[in-house]
Amino acid sequence: MVGTRHLLGLAIDDGGVVATELCVRAGRPEIRGAGELSWDRELTPENVAELGQRLRHFLREKGFTAKKAVVGLAAKWVLAKEVEVPPTTPETLSGILSIQAERAFSFNADELVFDYCGKTSPSEKSQVLLLAARRQIVDRVKELAEASGLQIQSITVSAFACGSRASQNRSACRYGLYTRPTYCEFWGQAQGMPHFIKHIPLGMNGNPSGYTDQLTAMIQRQILLSSRQDQVPPHQVAAFDACGLSADMLKRLNERLAPQKISIVDGREGLFPAGLTIPAGVQEAPVVAAAAVAMTAVGQERPAVDFLNPRMGEKKKASHKRFYAWAGGIAAVCLIGLGLWLWGWQSDRRDIAVYKQQLADMDKDLTAAKEVVARLTYASSWGATNPRFLSCLRAVTEAFPEEGTVWATSLALNESGVGSVVGKLTSESSFYEVFDKIDRSEAFANTKLIHIRDVGQNSREKEFAISFTFKGAK
């Protein structure tokens, strides 16, 4: 039908693929079908052809007719690092990030496909999220699609697809949570663009109460460690459930997070345009991410991240069929095409001269950027070779008594100096002496008591948590 097109959204992870087919008529999308194909093995070069055939049969059995697909990857397969860039324009940002990408990740640059998301300014520094996908993962996804008879339009991140849709409808949502049966993904957004993402192995395993406790602790921890200066309470987290979170579990999450001024909202409510519904007989939860992935191909805007058509590094190579189609079209209008080419050539010469002048003007900024990059190393803030972390550990240790009436069980510290210490106590007076020592120490600022609570009914021990900003040992 003229004006109608079909798109397939595929959300792929280690457990299989979730598929959703969209039918777009006059710019309005409709969900025609959805389903989930599970596999019990990791996607490898040896089995990708076999799994591709299984996917082909699965799509045929479900009655899917779309041949063009958008693929969403699990965050487990993606590396992410927020970097600072000097004042620049979108045209020159790719070159600056290419320099930083070589040292931002521990892998060889040839083993990765890079892209980025974020907004820049020509007058001030900006924060940009630099992302990398293993090239072998991207190649396997391409081979899987080819074996199943599909043409991939883009390869994005499933969680970011959910977040990009929600940010259009929930500008207040600064965080996102995507839950799957064996893991969850948590990310933060600023000005509608993601600035970090974490993949956390976490399963319900038939214990909803324990799962809720683990989700509560994880959300508190991630917000504490990743909040920017402009992200102050109250915090709102948009939850995209694909593992069966009940309304009662969401209610309990909100009750437990309320003291920290954190609220959980159902991200699916604002995920799709008005009128877009899940077909009868299809479970809504598993297909949420696949539907959001498919929606990234509706409209003029490109996905927030696209590893098939990245804005830095190599570009997507056109297929031979498309090349021949274009060649035939050009042959039919060769005279006009030649004239346009000559005009474009002259225009390119002028543009090259302008770009050369811009590069010369930016020489100081590029030199400064290279100096910054030279100081960057790929090391976790938890690494044993981090002097800042060791200084913080020593300063915290010196605040605790030797007799063992209060002790620490965990210590967290991010790169900006925001940290927390969790521990247990048998004497509240000893604990408050420790708290006062940390609060009075010149090495710490913004010392706050998060909680003191009983460990259990039959235990004399209590658990405590303290947050702080580490300024550095004097």
The number of domains in the chain is 3
In a domain, 252, yes or no: yes
Residues 265 and 229 in one domain: yes
**Cβ 117 vs Cβ 194: under 8 Å:** yes
Please answer whether residues 381 and 414 qualify as being in contact, where contact means their C-beta atoms are separated by less than 8 angstroms.
yes
- 253 shares a domain with 179: yes
- The predicted model gives 2-22 an average pLDDT of 87
364: in domain: yes
The Cβ-side half-sphere exposure at 260, using a 13 Å CA radius, reads: 25
Burial 153-188 (b: 16+ CB within 10 A, else e): bbbbbbbbbbbbbbbeebeebbbbbbbbeebbbbbb
Q: Are residues 213 and 347 part of one domain?
A: no
DSSP-based three-state secondary structure for 203:
coil
Q: Is residue 372 part of a domain?
A: yes
Instruction: Find the helix or strand (DSSP H, E) in which 135 lies.
Output: helix 135-147
Q: What is the pLDDT of residues 298-308, one digit of tens each?
A: 877 788 899 99
The confidence score (pLDDT) of residue 322 equals 61
* 441-465 confidence digits (pLDDT tens): 988 999 999 999 888 777 788 899 9
| pLDDT over 90 at 362, yes or no | no
Please count the residues of the chain.
474
| 444 strand-pairing partners | 470
Cut 0.75: pTM above it: no
Q: Is the alpha carbon torsion for 67, 70, 74, 79 positive or negative? A: positive
Beta bridge partners of 445: 469
- Can you give the residue range of the structural domain that contains 351? 318-376
- Of 73, 37, 66, 51, which is closest to residue 147 (Cα–Cα)? 51
More confident call, 257 vs 105: 257
Looking up residue 431, the CATH number of its domain turns out to be 3.30.1360.100
pLDDT at 78 over 90: yes
Question: Could you please report the per-residue DSSP string of 240-293?
Answer: EESS---HHHHHHHHHHHGGGTEEEEEGGGGTS-TT--PPTTS-HHHHHHHHHH
CA distance 212 to 38: 25
Query: How far apart (Å, rounded) are the C-alpha atoms in residues 14 and 425?
Result: 42
Q: Output the average pLDDT for the chain.
A: 83
Q: What are residue 5's DSSP bridge partners?
A: 24
79 vs 378: CA distance, rounded Å: 11
pLDDT for 173 equals 55
How many angstroms separate the Cα of 331 from the Cα of each of 317, 319, 336?
21, 18, 10
Q: Do 286 and 430 reside in the same domain of the chain?
A: no
Q: Are residues 363 and 242 part of one domain?
A: no
For residues 397 and 335, state if they share a domain.
no
Q: How many whole angstroms separate alpha carbon 406 and alpha carbon 245?
A: 37
Q: Do 427 and 454 belong together in one domain?
A: yes
Per-residue pLDDT at 317: 44
In this structure, the answer to whether residues 243 and 173 fall within a common structural domain is: yes
Do both 164 and 208 map to the same domain? Answer: yes
